[in-house]
Amino acid sequence: MRFRGRAKNGAAPAAPPPPVEASPGPPPVLVIDALGRKCPIPIIMLAERIREVPVGQVVAVLADDAAARTDVPAWCRMKSQDFVWEETLQQGGWGFHIRRTY
């Protein structure tokens, strides 16, 4: 007889994912909401607005287009900005945190 919640090999089911941890860096000074926009729009929005953030501060870009996961870090390398970290959003998509360097 097989019980619900048991793996095929009889082991207990996998543990739930750990709770979301606090951000590893300072909170963003500016949040750019690009949810629902296709790339390259999130990059364009970031490029237009990063000058609003003081040097050394963080801006967050919220995006749900999968291309943003490669485009935002690539833009940061190309423009010599610091890609701080990426978070997964509960509503879907990602939050990309960028520190302005100049």
What digits encode the pLDDT tens for the residues 51-100?
Answer: 999 999 999 999 999 999 999 999 999 999 999 999 999 999 999 999 99
CATH top-level class of 30-100: alpha beta
Give 30's pLDDT tier (boundaries 50, 70, 90): very high
The catalytic residue positions are 39
Question: What is the predicted pLDDT for the residue at 11?
Answer: 54
Q: What's the average model confidence in pLDDT over 30-39? A: 97
Cα–Cα distance between 52 and 85 in angstroms, integer? Answer: 20
Are 36 and 43 contacting, i.e. CB atoms less than 8 angstroms apart?
no
pLDDT at 12: 53
Q: What is the mean pLDDT of residues 33-62?
A: 97
pLDDT, tens digit, 9 for 90 and up, residues 9-22: 555 555 544 444 55
CA distance 98 to 49: 12
